[in-house]
């Protein structure tokens, strides 16, 4: 498979594209189908490598999947023959840990490989396990696997030590089929958690407080398969907006939920972009200006998302002045910096901060992607750079961006995969 993207940069992006469904919503929603009796129909499913991996994981357990013709999947999990998420699948996609809560809640047993560390940081799952133990699960970690058993889970009050997105999702899914009431405090309020919660409610779950840090769940005996339309991908949308801003361009993105991007849109405005929104569209015009530098501190929603940090490093790299980006969630999420510097950027990393002195222009260069958002930042930098950029190990980008070359070419970019 081709593993390199070649970009001829320096062209202003302009035009209209449609946002895809969100990776970080569709993955938990696919695991939530493990809770459902009958057929589930998931719509607005993006064509992503992670979705294929999740489908493989569900099929490995015995789920019956039919991929529809309109970005949709029909799933029936009534006849699982095993409850294992093997290492080979989990190591390529951490979201596989989301199978744990649903398997325990519906089948009383799960064997899920420990996700382990990945490039952006250690990413432990201790809080997932602590929450499930509080609900009565018997959990043993050995041979690299989480072995979990329970009779029926019991509702519990769980105060999360840290705000964790997939931790909240795992416990939320488990609590839906537990006996009695659960309360998750210091819960994550990311839009993707809310989308999962809405799906669970449609399935028959009793949940209050979605989108707040206190989620109350009354367990029910059964959940049924239903249809659900996955929410738009705010990180994909944000990435395209940054690309347009860096090239001085103007674009419209349709099928969005603009409110989910408040922190990102504010930073783009601070960088000098004109932003207009309607109920479901976002319009950005940079009026061919060079970006102003913007300081950023990543934090849980509604603050600035860590998944947009690398893209704003690229934007600040060509800004008219100096900026500081502080990464508070993941300890090793500046791997794009060395590669951006190969393109002429002037970025120094000190601890969890990147100090960025804007340069007038980046120049095309061969660079290597190290993770999903690092690869997005390099592609975006390549679009704004003078000359040709080759981004190697580009396969990471397919984890989270549907048809990225097609969408960028539609906006006037010159980008091909080789
Ligand atoms: C599939 C998915 O939705 N991935 C997103 C999810 O990842 P993910 O859910 O893995 O990230 P978390 O929200 O759990 O991580 C937040 C912080 O909590 C720590 N932590 C987390 C769990 C735990 O048991 N113990 C612990 O210490 C993590 O190391 C990190 O420092 O949220 C991240 C933060 O918005 C995003 O970057 C990822 O794109
Ligand atoms: C870190 C990310 O994803 P994951 O949690 O799936 O690795 C991301 O989407 O930027």
* Cα torsion 99, 61, 134, 140: sign: negative
More confident residue, 119 or 202: 202
The residue contributing the CA closest to ligand 2 atom 4 is 94
Please identify which residue in the block is written with the tokens 């839906």: 176
Span from the CA of 164 to the centroid of ligand 1 (angstroms) = 5
pLDDT band at 385 (very low <50, low <70, confident <90, very high): very high
Segment 90-110 shows an average pLDDT of 96
- What is the maximal distance between C-alpha atoms in the chain? 63
Predicted ipTM? 0.99
Assess whether the C-beta atom of 124 lies below 6 angstroms from ligand 1. Answer: yes
Cα-based distances in Å from 124 to 114, 128, 143, 192, 403: 9, 9, 16, 20, 31
99: closest CA among 35, 186, 144, 190? 35
The set of catalytic residues is 118
Q: Report the alpha-carbon distance of residue 175 to residue 179 in Å, rounded.
A: 8
94 is in an annotated binding site: yes
User: pLDDT tens, 33-70?
Assistant: 999 999 999 999 999 999 999 999 999 999 999 999 99
User: pLDDT tens, 131-152?
Assistant: 999 999 999 999 999 999 999 9
What radius of gyration do the chain's Cα atoms show? Answer: 21
Would you say residue 373 has pLDDT above 80? Answer: yes
276 is in an annotated binding site: no
Cα-based distances in Å from 303 to 309, 341, 344: 12, 27, 30
User: pLDDT tens, 294-341?
Assistant: 999 999 999 999 999 999 999 999 999 999 999 999 999 999 999 999
Q: Percentage of the chain surpassing pLDDT 70?
A: 99
pLDDT at 221: 98
The residue contributing the CA closest to ligand 2 atom 7 is 94
User: pLDDT tens, 248-296?
Assistant: 999 999 999 999 999 999 999 999 999 999 999 999 999 999 999 999 9
Span from the CA of 217 to the centroid of ligand 1 (angstroms) = 22
The residue contributing the CA closest to ligand 1 atom 29 is 123
Q: Report the alpha-carbon distance of residue 107 to residue 148 in Å, rounded.
A: 11
Assess whether the C-beta atom of 249 lies below 6 angstroms from ligand 2. Answer: no
Point out the ligand 2 atom lying closest to the alpha carbon of residue 95.
Answer: 6
The residue contributing the CA closest to ligand 2 atom 1 is 307
Q: Report the mean per-residue pLDDT for the chain.
A: 97
Reading across the β-sheet that carries 109-113, which strands appear in turn? 84-85, 109-113, 145-149, 138-142
pLDDT band at 2 (very low <50, low <70, confident <90, very high): low
* Cα torsion 357, 400, 161, 140: sign: negative
pLDDT at 119: 87
Cis peptide before 302 (omega within 30 of 0): yes
Assess whether the C-beta atom of 95 lies below 6 angstroms from ligand 2. Answer: yes
24 is in an annotated binding site: yes
pLDDT band at 1 (very low <50, low <70, confident <90, very high): low
Point out the ligand 2 atom lying closest to the alpha carbon of residue 50.
Answer: 6
pTM of the model: 0.98
């Amino acid at each position: 498979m081709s593993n390199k993207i070649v970009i001829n940069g320096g062209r202003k992006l302009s035009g209209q594209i449609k946002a895809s469904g969100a990776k970080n919503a569709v993955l938990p929603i696919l695991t939530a189908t493990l809770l459902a009796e009958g057929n589930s129909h998931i719509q607005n499913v993006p064509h992503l490598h992670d979705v294929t991996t999740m489908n493989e994981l569900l099929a490995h357990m015995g789920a019956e999947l039919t991929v529809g013709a309109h970005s949709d999947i029909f799933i029936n999990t009534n006849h699982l023959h095993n409850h294992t998420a093997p290492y080979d699948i989990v190591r390529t996609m951490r979201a596989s840990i989301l199978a744990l809560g649903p398997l325990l809640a519906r089948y009383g047993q799960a064997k899920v490989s420990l996700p382990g560390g990945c490039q952006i940081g250690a990413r432990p799952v201790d809080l997932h396990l602590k929450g499930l133990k509080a609900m009565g699960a018997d959990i043993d970690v050995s041979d690299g696997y989480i072995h979990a058993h329970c009779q029926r889970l019991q509702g519990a009050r769980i105060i999360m030590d840290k705000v964790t997105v997939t931790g909240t999702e795992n416990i939320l899914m488990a609590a839906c089929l537990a006996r009695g009431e659960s309360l998750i405090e210091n819960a994550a309020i990311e839009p993707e958690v809310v989308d999962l919660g809405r799906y669970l409610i449609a399935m028959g779950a009793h949940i209050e407080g979605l989108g707040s840090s206190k989620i109350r769940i009354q367990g029910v005996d059964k959940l049924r398969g239903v249809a659900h339309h996955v929410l738009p991908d705010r990180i994909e949308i944000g990435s395209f907006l940054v690309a347009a801003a860096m090239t001085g361009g103007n674009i419209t993105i349709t099928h969005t939920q603009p409110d989910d991007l408040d922190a990102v849109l504010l930073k783009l405005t601070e960088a000098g972009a004109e932003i207009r929104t309607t109920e479901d569209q976002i319009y950005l015009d940079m009026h061919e200006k060079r970006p102003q530098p913007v300081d950023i501190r990543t934090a849980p929603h509604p603050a600035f998302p860590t998944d947009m940090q690398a893209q704003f490093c690229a934007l600040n790299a060509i800004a008219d002045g100096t900026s500081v980006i502080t990464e508070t969630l993941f300890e090793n999420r500046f791997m794009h910096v060395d590669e951006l510097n190969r393109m002429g950027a002037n970025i120094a990393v000190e601890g969890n901060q990147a100090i960025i002195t804007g340069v007038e222009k980046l120049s095309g260069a061969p660079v290597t992607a190290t993770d999903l958002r690092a690869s997005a930042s390099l592609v975006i930098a390549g679009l704004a750079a003078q000359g040709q950029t080759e981004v190697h190990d580009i396969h990471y980008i397919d984890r989270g961006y549907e048809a990225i070359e097609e969408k960028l070419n539609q906006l006037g970019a010159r980008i091909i995969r080789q």
